Amino acid sequence: MPSRPMHRSLPVLLGGLLAAGVAVPAGAAGSGTQAAPRPPVADQRPHEVRAPHGAVRIDEYYWLRDDTRQNPEVLALLAAENAYTDARMAPLAGLKETLFNEIVGRVQQDDSSVPFFEDGFWYYTRFETGKDYPIVARRKGTMEAPEEILLDQNAMAAGKDFFQVGNWEVSPNGRLLAWAEDLNGRRQFTIRVKDIATGEVLPDAITGAASSIVWGDDNRTIWYVENHPETLLTTHVRTRVLGTPAGSDPIVYTERDTSFFMGIGRTRSEDYICIAVQSTVSSEQRCTPAADPGEFTVIAPRERDVEYSADHHAGRWVITTNWNAPNFRIMTVAEDALGSRDAWKELVPHADDVFIEGVTLFDGFMAIGERSEGLRRIRILEDGGESTFVQSDEPAYTMALSVNPMPDTPWVRYTYTSLTTPVTTYEINVHTGERRMLKQDPVPGFDPAQYLTERLWVTARDGQTRIPVSLVYRKGFERNGQAAMLQMGYGAYGISMDPSFNRALPSLLDRGMVYAIAHIRGGQEMGRAWYDQGRLLNKKNTFTDFIDVTAALVEKGYAHPERVAAIGGSAGGLLMGAVANMAPQKYDVIISLVPFVDVVTTMLDPSIPLTTNEYDEWGNPEQREFYDYMLAYSPYDNIRAQDYPAMFVGTGLWDSQVQYWEPAKYVQRLRATMSGGGPILFRINMEAGHGGRSGRFQRFRETAEQYAFLLDQLGVTRRD
């Protein structure tokens, strides 16, 4: 990746707009005019985008792609977009600040995590009042022991526009700390090492890496995954012996199939170091003894449409797999019976109505994360076969296993949350059933008794499919068809949008709004089939499900038909673009963040990060069948002369997952083509990537701006 440029100040960039062929928003350059701000207009420079099968499309804004992020014309346009958004949002500055203060007011600023015990130390993170970043610390033996600060991320982030620690690992002897840091949001990490006692940072910096870090038993060797500098594909596993020259790290493993991601870690027993590779539809794992690393033994050879994940504890391997089990089952195999699936024995069978998500192994039992009827639950399975479930008291909730680093305990930690319940950490004794609440995230000023959550089902347009929906609103809400509503969706990669607490939402609910999560196909809320029905040549189900949920909620009186907003990000931004084209009349406002909107062009280009990994998610448009299907829903390609909702589109210049030029082109074509509606605002974060700005308070400012736009467009002003 090219080095990051120094960004010019706004006045300098605006000075170059005329040369770039970009119209400057009135007042943006300090002219003092009172004319209404106008959006910037980019030149149209027709470019042919050809597919191998001969299909040709014309992209008049293709020139906005700049892999270097240094093109003055492109930077000028992005600066003009930000200036236009500033001008349009200026009248809402007071509302934006009010919302920001409300959200920050729900943050316990000096909060800390629940400590966990591992290898003689209690580890935790904590925040200090007024500071953006966490401090990672530990205490030896007891929480009353002196504190050792491992990472003061506030000091590390000082003077940087973006800073993120992707992972950290302590050496087996507890003396050294390795961490992976990202300075621009592109998720191309640098791994650094320091002596914990002295604080000295060693010269062994590893650049161009993924965030996976594994220490060798010798406390001198680090195992890591190398990224390709352009595509960011995880290409090699290498080892670095501390003190050896950079560039001499031997390659342990090379992954040549560009449809696979790769990671490295240790088993639960700590006895094995394992390399895991995963594509959309298949996986493979190979392991070597940590005490004497050598040849990596394959657990079972990769096979298309077969996924598995193996862990080792107490002398056996436990494997979660979809082999002849679409919703996954759990198998076991002896320690010395690796290399094929022939010796696998079933422990937990497949069930049509239960989706198995993962397993954590303990001495004498295992904790299984499952999903049933779209809700996550935890099952405890003892080695003797007795099975129990952790109970919930709400109709819509999210339950997940927490940090459980040590297997030799009868206590299982898990988190519980809902749309009205802040994240709560519990531990339960599997032998006695005793449950202890360790912590509920403090939310100053929030009273859960003032809010209600609800679960309902919507029948899709096929007349058969039932779509789960989670809702939350303030007590006193009347289902009379007058309220404003924000509906969220994602629907891709088998990622489920579980109902969980969001400390920003009360700012909408207290103003009388309803918030709904549409658990549409493409996620995995209802099992693997739910995912398969929302990908490849079934992708349009994702969009129609979302629209059908909107129509049903309006019909049931949860919202006024002219006061509906929608929000989605990344693949959820693709969803936003699709529904805006397909049913613009159903939405008054759309918030589309880091949106994947130029589907066909991106998936035709294997040099763009993620493309080759995702052929089994979207299809390979080099094949005509997929090309035609993707073209039929691609948001960028289906913009037409119709009225569009008001839109707030956001991106990050350094986004490696959805490149900034996709939303930049989308916004320009949308404004040039639409017959009415809008406005269309475009906010580009010049110092961030896919996840937005770093630092907890900076992200709240982004949310406050989006909410201010949303509330203004919906005409929502009252706050209870």
Catalytic positions, written as ranges: 570, 655, 690
Copy the structure tokens of residue 221. Answer: 């060797």
Q: Which of 619, 546, 594, 549 is nearest to 702 (CA)?
A: 594
Q: Which helix (DSSP H) or strand (DSSP E) does residue 263 occupy?
A: strand 261-266
Q: Which residues pair with 264 in a beta bridge?
A: 275
Which stretches does DSSP call E strand in 397-447? 398-401, 411-417, 424-429, 435-440
Radius of gyration for the alpha carbons in the chain, expressed in angstroms and rounded: 26
Residue 248 in contact with residue 229, Cβ under 8 Å? no
* Cα 558 from Cα 568, distance rounded (Å): 20
Q: Which helix (DSSP H) or strand (DSSP E) does residue 206 occupy?
A: strand 206-215
Q: Which residues pair with 320 in a beta bridge?
A: 309, 330
Query: Is the bond preceding 645 in cis, omega lying within 30 degrees of 0?
Result: no
- Who's near 102: CB < 8 A, 6+ residues apart? 506, 507
Which stretches does DSSP call E strand in 549-696? 564-569, 589-593, 643-644, 646-652, 676-677, 680-685
* Burial annotation 160-183 (CB, 10 A radius, 16+ → b, else e): ebbbbbbebbbbeebebbbbbbbb
* Cα 119 from Cα 562, distance rounded (Å): 58
* Residue 193, phi then psi, degrees to nearest 5: -135, 140
DSSP letters, 113-178, are: PPPEEETTEEEEEE--TT-SS-EEEEEESSTTSPEEEEEEHHHHHTT-S--EEEEEEE-TTS-EEE
* Cα 446 from Cα 463, distance rounded (Å): 40
435-438 contact pairs (CB < 8 A, 24+): 438/114, 438/413
- Please calculate the CA angle 205-209-212 and round it to the nearest 5 degrees: 105
- Who's near 231: CB < 8 A, 6+ residues apart? 258, 606, 607, 608, 609, 611, 612
- Pairing mode, if any, of strands 564-569 and 589-593? parallel
Residue 132 in contact with residue 157, Cβ under 8 Å? yes
* Burial annotation 623-657 (CB, 10 A radius, 16+ → b, else e): eeebbebbbebbbbbebeeeebbbbbbbbbbbbbb
DSSP letters, 78-96, are: HHHHHHHHHHHHGGGHHHH
Residue 160 in contact with residue 148, Cβ under 8 Å? no
Q: Is the dihedral of CA 322, 325, 329, 334 positive or negative?
A: negative
- Please calculate the CA angle 698-704-709 and round it to the nearest 5 degrees: 140
